[in-house]
Amino acid sequence: MHLKILQAGEEVLRGKARELSSAEILAEETQRLIEHMKNTMREAPGVGLAAPQVGLPVQLAVIEDREEYHQKMTQAQMTERQRQPVPFHVVINPRIHWSEETTAEFFEGCLSIAGYAAMVPRSTAVTVEFLNERADPVKVEARGWYARILQHEIDHLAGVLYIDRMHSRTLTTVENMERFWKGLKSPEVRARLG
C-alpha cells in the first residue's frame, strides 16, 4: 500500500508531532505504517519520509539513501556532499545534538513541496538518539548528506519545512536546478544569486 504524501499548506505539516510509547511502536498498526511509509518513500522516490507528511502527527520517520539515487552525480559532487548510501532504518522520538558548528549549503528538496528545491544551510555533523522499530534505543553519529537527511526529517516532526531555513533567492523548480545550477558549487550559486 502506498500512502498519499501531503503538500505544503496542510495543517499537520506545521504542527509538533507527539512521541510514541514503546507499546505504540510495537503495535501492529505502527509496524504496518512503517512498511507503507517505506514503500511510499521508495516509490516517490525520496531519501526520507516523516509521518506528518502522510497525515499522522507522530514522531516517526523512515530514511534510506539508495546507491541508485547517486548515479546522476559526479564523484566530485558526491565528495563535496559527503554522500554515500544509507541503509533503510526507522527513526522514532529523535533527539538531535549538533556535533559541530560547521555548516554546508546545498540544494534540498522535499516530497511535500513537490517540484521545487532551494539551498539550505545545515550542520555537517549531528548526533541523533532515537528508538528504532523494535523500540530499542539507537545512537547515530552522522556526517555530510546523512546528517542533512536526519535534520530535514527531524524538522518535519517539529512542523518545520526546508522553506523555513532556505536562502529564498535560491528557490527554483527542480527542472531549472538541473538545467542551470546542478553543476555549480554552492558558493558559485550564492554569488550569482546574491
CA-nearest of 166, 156, 119, 124 to 17 is 156
The set of cell numbers assigned to 153 is 526529517
Q: What is the pLDDT of residue 100?
A: 67
Whether 116 maps to a domain, the answer reads yes
Q: 177 lies in a domain?
A: yes
Residue 77: the pLDDT is 86
Q: What would the DSSP string read from start to end of 54-119?
A: GT--BSEEEEEE-GGGGTTS-HHHHHHHT---EEEEEEEEEEEEE--S-EEEEEEE-TTSTTEEEE
pLDDT at 145: 96
Amino acid 160: pLDDT = 98
**pLDDT, position 51:** 98
pLDDT value at residue 7: 98
85 belongs to a structural domain: yes
CATH code of residue 59: 3.90.45.10
User: Beta strand pairing status for 172-173 and 116-123?
Assistant: antiparallel
Q: Quick one: 99 exposed, middle or buried, by C-beta within 10 A (0-12, 13-18, 19+)? A: middle
Cα(42)–Cα(14) distance, integer angstroms: 24
Residue 36 lies in a domain: yes
Classify residue 4: in a domain, yes or no: no
Q: What is the structure's pLDDT at 56? A: 98
* Model pTM score: 0.95
Report in angstroms the alpha-carbon separations of 19 from 107, 115, 119, 127, 132.
30, 30, 30, 19, 13
89-138 pLDDT, tens digit each:
999 999 999 776 899 999 999 999 999 999 999 999 999 999 999 999 99
* CB-neighbour burial class of residue 37 (10 A; exposed 0-12, middle 13-18, buried 19+): buried
Residue 2 lies in a domain: no
Q: Count how many domains the chain has.
A: 1
Residue 84: inside a domain, yes or no?
yes
Res 171: pLDDT: 96
Q: What is the mean pLDDT of each run of 10 residues along the chain (194 residues)?
A: 95 98 98 98 97 98 94 87 95 89 93 97 96 98 97 98 96 94 87 83
Residue 5 within any structural domain of the chain: no
Parent domain of 180: 11-193
Concerning whether 153 is annotated as a catalytic residue, the answer is yes
User: 153, 175, 178, 188: which is the annotated catalytic residue?
Assistant: 153
pLDDT attached to residue 101? 80
